[in-house]
Structure 1
Amino acid sequence: MNPQDTGRWIRAGLWVLPASWLLTVWSSLAPQPDQEIDPVAWARFVSSDSYQVSHLVGSTGGTLLAVFGLFALGCFLAGSQSGRLALAAMVMAVAGTTLLLVPAVISTFVTPAVGRAYLAGNQDVMQLEFPGSMSAAFMAGLLLAFAGTVLLGVAAWRSRMLPRWAGALWVAGAVVFYALGVVMGLATTGSSLPTQSAGAALLAVAAGGIAWRGTRKGRELPPAG
């Protein structure tokens, strides 16, 4: 492939990153009611069309776009001072993000069916238990995505190719989104917290700064591999 074509694909991928995080902001704005406290409200919420659309487009679609964007960021930084760190972080972040597609798909397609069954009078459906392997995949994905995303921010900060403020904001956004948003939400309400949307917004702003600088550099990038 022509190096110029490779560069165009990489820069396009950089612009996908802010789009993926903006979709995540949108999908996490409306938290689910507590399933234990008000199962009827929860069932109505998850069986609504708006829930499925937000999860299909926002959560699942945003995750797919994020994978493309993370590859692009890792490749963009490969020739920088922090190239080795960036590539290792890219692999971790992509692996973790891909694993997180498992619960995203279940939330999109299985949870609405559970909600509809409960509203139809099948209350035993709330006792549905998923295998422990799903929880293990989710935790592994969460850990890898968090660590890889943070390290990508560090690599961007150290690269001398991208604004340092963008790298620092990216790291801060990752901490707010994953640690104070996803993990804290699971430990407290079982749903998304406002910190999850806030963290995704910070990552979107940082990714926008990265994409803007990456596009303006206009340098010829070497072909991947």
Structure 2
Amino acid sequence: MNSHLVIRWIRAGLWTLPVAWIVTAWSTLDPQPDQAKDPEAWARFVSSDPYQASHLFGSTAGTILALFGVFALGCYLANSRSGRLALAAMVAAVAGTALLLVPAVISTFATPAIGKVYLAGNRDVMQLEFPASMTGAFLLGLLLACAGNVMLGIAVWRSRMLPRWAGLLWVAGVVVFYILGAVLGQATTGSSLPTQAAGALLIAVAGAWIAWSASRQTRAAPGLVATASA
């Protein structure tokens, strides 16, 4: 395979990182009402077109773009001083992010249907319970995505190929988004907190910094990322 083609694809993949986290931040800006305290408001909220658009183009599309970006970052760092850590981090982050596609898809397509059924007069639909395995997949996804992305930030810090402070900013954003945002939100309000949007924007800035730096380096020295060519 042409090494220059691989480098271009990796460079393009890195630019999906800021895009992924910007649309993710957008999808968390408007938290949904408490389903238990005000089911009517919740049903109207989740059955609205803006809700489905934000989840389709924010949560779901953002998660898919994040997968591409993490693959690209892992490949870019594979031959750096932190190559082993970067590849292990890539595997963990990709596995966790892929698992998080499950609740993202359910929120995008199943939740609006539940809201519409409730508004049509079927109050029993609120008794619907998803299997415990889905909760397990969600928690495992959170754990792997958080741990893997923290490891990626550390790999950036140690790589000597990318700005060290971009790695630190990435780690800070991951902690704010996953722990102070997603986990704390589920434990308190059951919805997204402002910290999720803040964390996503921090990661987006770090991702843009990483992509910009990598693009400059690969243009200045095309052989920087060693690849196997057929």
TM-score of the superposed pair, with normalisation by structure 2: 0.96
Cα distance in 2, alignment partners of residues 128 and 47 from structure 1: 16
Q: How many residues align?
A: 225
* CA RMSD of superposed structures (Å): 1.0
- Specify whether residues 224 and 137 from structure 1 end up closer, same or farther in structure 2 by C-alpha distance, changes over 3 A only: farther
Instruction: Determine the structure 2 residue equivalent to 1:55.
Output: 55
1:92 aligned to 2:96?
A: no
Corresponding letter in the other structure for 2:135: S
Instruction: Determine the structure 1 residue equivalent to 2:194.
Output: 194
4+ runs of 1 displaced by more than 6 Å?
Answer: none
Q: Percent identity?
A: 71
Cα distance in 2, alignment partners of residues 167 and 62 from structure 1: 20
Instruction: Determine the structure 1 residue equivalent to 2:177.
Output: 177
Deviations 1:139-164 (A, max 9, x none): 11110000000000000000001111
Corresponding letter in the other structure for 1:12: A
After the TM superposition, which residues 22-41 of structure 1 pair with which residues of structure 2 at under 5 Å, given as runs? Answer: 22-41=22-41
Cα distance in 1, alignment partners of residues 19 and 228 from structure 2: 23
Instruction: Determine the structure 1 residue equivalent to 2:125.
Output: 125
Instruction: Determine the structure 2 residue equivalent to 1:222.
Output: 226
Give the drift of 1:222. Answer: 2.4
1:42 aligned to 2:64?
A: no
Instruction: Determine the structure 2 residue equivalent to 1:205.
Output: 205
Corresponding letter in the other structure for 1:154: I
In structure 2, stretches of 5+ residues that fail to align are none
- Specify whether residues 196 and 142 from structure 1 end up closer, same or farther in structure 2 by C-alpha distance, changes over 3 A only: same
Instruction: Determine the structure 1 residue equivalent to 2:115.
Output: 115
Corresponding letter in the other structure for 2:201: A
TM-score of the superposed pair, with normalisation by structure 1: 0.98
Deviations 1:180-218 (A, max 9, x none): 000000000000000000000000000010001000001
Give the drift of 1:2. Answer: 0.4
Give the drift of 1:224. Answer: 6.3
Cα distance in 2, alignment partners of residues 222 and 103 from structure 1: 37
Counterpart secondary structure, 1:100: helix
Cα distance in 1, alignment partners of residues 31 and 174 from structure 2: 19
In structure 1, stretches of 5+ residues that fail to align are none
Give the drift of 1:95. Answer: 0.3
Give the drift of 1:23. Answer: 0.6
After the TM superposition, which residues 68-79 of structure 1 pair with which residues of structure 2 at under 5 Å, given as runs? Answer: 68-79=68-79
Corresponding letter in the other structure for 1:54: S
Cα distance in 1, alignment partners of residues 92 and 205 from structure 2: 22
Cα distance in 1, alignment partners of residues 125 and 90 from structure 2: 39
Deviations 1:47-70 (A, max 9, x none): 001100110110000000000000
Instruction: Determine the structure 2 residue equivalent to 1:80.
Output: 80
1:134 aligned to 2:134?
A: yes
Corresponding letter in the other structure for 2:146: F
Cα distance in 1, alignment partners of residues 190 and 29 from structure 2: 15
Deviations 1:73-103 (A, max 9, x none): 0000001000000000000000000000000
Cα distance in 1, alignment partners of residues 129 and 181 from structure 2: 24
